[in-house]
Chains A and B, each alone.
Chain A
Amino acid sequence: MLVLTSVVTYYGSVQALKGISLHVNKGEIVALIGANGAGKTTTLKSISGLLAPRRGSVTFEAQPIAGRPPEAIVRAGISQVPEGRQIFGPLSVRDNLMLGAYHLNLRAKRTRMRDNLEEIYELFPVLRERAQQPAGTLSGGEQQMLAIGRALMAEPRFLLLDEPSLGLAPRMARVIFDAIPAFRDRGLTVLLVEQNARAALQIADRAYVMETGRVVMEGPAQELLNQREVQRAYLGRGYQQVWEDG
């Protein structure tokens, strides 16, 4: 569904991606793991159009999308949930969700938006309870749910998740991770970037491990979980506690 071939992306003058190739098949959850600065977020931005790759190709459903503007990529069916949520604090939870659907065409909009909203409320009931509250009053975990809900309002077929558990209490992280396989059941395909490698590998089908702008390992998530190099570098005790708790 999504194919990256030898993608090179610069952040200013820094070569952040040194030729990344990966693919995500329809209906898969694929995790991108690695330390801070490995190039995971740059990879997502190179897909969602926030950064333009200097070399290589990005194709979505066999159409080249590299270098196209973010809104065109959203229209193609890819939504990114940014790291750090980036919600609109003064607006109500409901209005934040509605903003996610701004690009849908007007005629279809009303009923589809209502249906989508309903589905999101079912996925994250707490958002229904707080629908009229300003988003800024939500807890970190709730804000993350809101950010994901807002991305889903765009009716994507492909979801890019950037560090959904970042800064969350273990219990909240678990709610988020539990919800991700449910996206797939709704027909979504997911590319997930996570520093919490253990949690990501537990829900992913396959994974790529990045180091300094390169992919250094790839394979079925289960295989990587059992790989000692991955265990030592990315599944330290600290992470284990964060996840096993709650």
Chain B
Amino acid sequence: MPIWNPRIETMPRVDLEQLQLERLQVTANRAWEGVPFYRRRFESLGIMPEQIRSLDDLRQLPFTTKEDLSSGYPYDMLAVPLREVVRIHASSGATATPTVAGYTKNDLRHWRELSARVLSAGGMTKDDVIQISFTYGLLTDAFGLHQGAEEIGASVIPVSAGAVDQQISIMQDFRTTALVGTPSYALQIAEALEEKGIPRSSLHLRWGMLGGEPWTEAARARIESQLGISATDNYRVSEVMGPGISGECEQHKAGLHINEDHFLCEIIDPTSCEVLPAGEMGELVITTLTKEALPIIRYRTRDLTSLDPTPCACGRTTARMSRVSGRTDDVVIVEGVKLFPAQIEAALLGVEGVEPHYRVLIERAGATDRIEVQIEVSSALLTGDVRHLMRTQNQLRQKLEGAIGLPAEVKLVEARTLERERTGRIVDRRKSEHRYPARPDQG
């Protein structure tokens, strides 16, 4: 598919890094000048913005957490007067106080462009009919992708989230070619089609631009085959910017291309806060490079991913982040070993009859920790040959133990019996001292 902005998206890395440094210095200068919160932070650490002489110097700067943004509710973090803000979004999130994100005219112009890049990478063009099934409201998903879809010149249907039946009939009547929404909503639509016996041929769908929650490769395979589409993942952090931060290219689906001319990304160890080398899994930290209304320095997203700076076969030279596999809150340490949801997902991949849903229970059993992995399997497998079932269970146990390096018990459960929540995939029932820090502390 065409690259929306080839000059930027295929730029040699040395030029990109110069651009990033220029913008990082501007961002540090403006944050220091315009946001009292950052001025205080810089001063307490004895840092002046001119000490940022290279991209690596970013490490000298303090982190920003969701709690920092919340405590500035609603407008304290803005770097411009409110009259220059033309759009306001807010995120509810896990904490009690929401965070507010303002956008200037230039911010919106950039956002529209970045969203267009992501949609374009996902395969969509001006010839597509794009159905937005995110809720239009304070959250950024619907508006973010809506404006990008208009930018590429597609026909946009702002259905919003709602009854699945209505969604399907609009898809049929309007000859929708692209579905924009959450992966779980796409799965619901797929399940509804199956239940009602609606043939796939009555739909014109080709693309799925899915995001807003972590989803597995197994879920993707299922969505793609049941809806007959090519589905790509895209990433957003509503506190930083809505969809447009990164997205997969449709050709390779090998990581999400980060719009690095607007965002500087690092991966840190969430406990030690040390910056990790490329390829290592850790917490994503984002610094905005062009945001006027709400510049954010080193925002701790609590999302787990890794970075790959090598160019992609699609031609883009921007670094890629692996698909977000969970939250730092999801990481648990069992017997001194870090357990990531991604390892479990990878182990489940490709086992016949296994659904993309699972839950991990960790309990203290005497002196050691016990891991139980509950996995949804198809009813055909559960009601079929018992020996086959046992074989599958054994196979899963071996794959899982190989992946996590710890003994694990496997329990197979019927499809759609586990909760489909973004959080709570790993349930830690031990005492708190064994847990991974749920709240990242100040750096």
Residues of A within 8 A of B (CB): 3, 5-6, 8, 18-19, 21-23, 55-56, 208, 214-219, 223, 226-229
Q: Which residues of B contact A56 (CB under 8 A)?
A: 53
Q: Which residues of B contact A22 (CB under 8 A)?
A: 22
Q: How far is the CA of A98 from the CA of B50 in the complex (A)?
A: 43
B106 touches A19 (CB 8 A): no
A92 to chain B, nearest CB (A): 44
Q: How far is the CA of A3 from the CA of B20 in the complex (A)?
A: 13
Q: How far is the CA of A246 from the CA of B106 in the complex (A)?
A: 31
Chain B residue with Cβ nearest A25: B15
A23 touches B26 (CB 8 A): no
A43 to chain B, nearest CB (A): 13
A80 to chain B, nearest CB (A): 22
A20 to chain B, nearest CB (A): 8
Contact residues, B270-298 vs A (CB, 8 A): 290, 292
Q: Which of A6, A214, A226 contacts B106 (CB 8 A)?
A: A226
- What 0/1 readout, one digit per residue, does chain B (36-80) give for beta carbons within 8 Å of chain A? 000000000000011011100000000000000000000000001
Q: Which residues of B contact A6 (CB under 8 A)?
A: 21, 25, 53-54
Contact residues, B108-129 vs A (CB, 8 A): 109
B165: CB under 8 A from chain A? no
Indicate whether A19 sits within 8 Å of B50 (C-beta atoms), given known contacts A3-B18, A223-B106.
yes
A21 touches B25 (CB 8 A): yes
B19 touches A23 (CB 8 A): yes
7 pairs, CB–CB < 8 Å, chain A vs chain B? A6-B53, A21-B22, A21-B25, A23-B18, A215-B22, A218-B23, A219-B290
Q: A22-B22, A23-B18 are in contact. List 9 more A-B contacts (CB 8 A).
A: A19-B53, A21-B18, A21-B21, A21-B22, A23-B15, A214-B29, A216-B30, A218-B23, A227-B292
Q: Which residues of B contact A214 (CB under 8 A)?
A: 25, 29, 49-50
Q: Which residues of A contact B292 (CB under 8 A)?
A: 227
Chain A residue with Cβ nearest B33: A216
**Main SS of the interface on chain B?**
helix
A226 touches B30 (CB 8 A): no
Q: Which of B19, B26, B53, B109 contacts A215 (CB 8 A)?
A: B26
B73 to chain A, nearest CB (A): 24
Q: How far is the CA of A84 from the CA of B199 in the complex (A)?
A: 78
Q: How far is the CA of A184 from the CA of B235 in the complex (A)?
A: 40
Q: Which residues of A contact B19 (CB under 8 A)?
A: 23
B105: CB under 8 A from chain A? yes
A55 touches B26 (CB 8 A): no
A82 to chain B, nearest CB (A): 26
Most buried by A among B52, B53, B109: B53
Q: Which of A3, A23, A229 contacts B84 (CB 8 A)?
A: A229
Q: Which residues of A contact B23 (CB under 8 A)?
A: 218
B34 to chain A, nearest CB (A): 9
Q: How far is the CA of A24 from the CA of B29 in the complex (A)?
A: 21
Q: Which residues of B contact A218 (CB under 8 A)?
A: 22-23, 26
Q: How far is the CA of A6 from the CA of B19 in the complex (A)?
A: 12
Q: Which residues of B contact A216 (CB under 8 A)?
A: 26, 29-30, 33
Q: Which residues of A contact B80 (CB under 8 A)?
A: 229
Q: Which residues of B contact A21 (CB under 8 A)?
A: 18, 21-22, 25
Q: How far is the CA of A208 from the CA of B53 in the complex (A)?
A: 17
Chain A residue with Cβ nearest B25: A21
Q: How far is the CA of A73 from the CA of B52 in the complex (A)?
A: 28
Q: Which residues of A contact B290 (CB under 8 A)?
A: 219
Q: Which residues of B contact A55 (CB under 8 A)?
A: 53
B18 touches A19 (CB 8 A): no
B100 to chain A, nearest CB (A): 20
B52 to chain A, nearest CB (A): 7
Q: How far is the CA of A195 from the CA of B104 in the complex (A)?
A: 25
Q: Which residues of A contact B21 (CB under 8 A)?
A: 5-6, 21
10 interchain residue pairs of minimum CB distance: A6-B53, A18-B50, A19-B50, A21-B22, A214-B29, A216-B29, A21-B21, A228-B84, A23-B18, A215-B26
Q: Which residues of A contact B54 (CB under 8 A)?
A: 6
A19 touches B52 (CB 8 A): yes
Q: How far is the CA of A215 from the CA of B26 in the complex (A)?
A: 6
A25 to chain B, nearest CB (A): 9
Q: Which of A23, A223, A226 contacts B22 (CB 8 A)?
A: A23
Most buried by B among A3, A56, A228: A228
Q: How far is the CA of A218 from the CA of B109 in the complex (A)?
A: 15
Indicate whether A219 sits within 8 Å of B18 (C-beta atoms), given known contacts A19-B52, A19-B53.
no
B84 touches A19 (CB 8 A): no
Indicate whether A215 sits within 8 Å of B29 (C-beta atoms), given known contacts A6-B53, A23-B22.
yes
B26 touches A217 (CB 8 A): yes
Q: Which residues of A contact B25 (CB under 8 A)?
A: 6, 19, 21, 214-215
Chain B residue with Cβ nearest A18: B50
A227 touches B106 (CB 8 A): yes
Q: How far is the CA of A21 from the CA of B20 in the complex (A)?
A: 10
Q: How far is the CA of A216 from the CA of B109 in the complex (A)?
A: 19
B106 touches A219 (CB 8 A): yes
Q: Which residues of B contact A18 (CB under 8 A)?
A: 50
Indicate whether A5 sits within 8 Å of B18 (C-beta atoms), given known contacts A18-B50, A214-B50, A226-B105.
yes
Q: How far is the CA of A19 from the CA of B80 in the complex (A)?
A: 24
- What 0/1 readout, one digit per residue, does chain B (82-116) give for beta carbons within 8 Å of chain A? 00100000000000000000001110010000000
Chain B residue with Cβ nearest A21: B22
Q: Which residues of B contact A3 (CB under 8 A)?
A: 18
Q: Which residues of A contact B22 (CB under 8 A)?
A: 21-23, 208, 215, 218
B165 to chain A, nearest CB (A): 44
Q: Which residues of B contact A217 (CB under 8 A)?
A: 26, 30
Q: How far is the CA of A229 from the CA of B53 in the complex (A)?
A: 26
Q: How far is the CA of A222 from the CA of B18 in the complex (A)?
A: 21
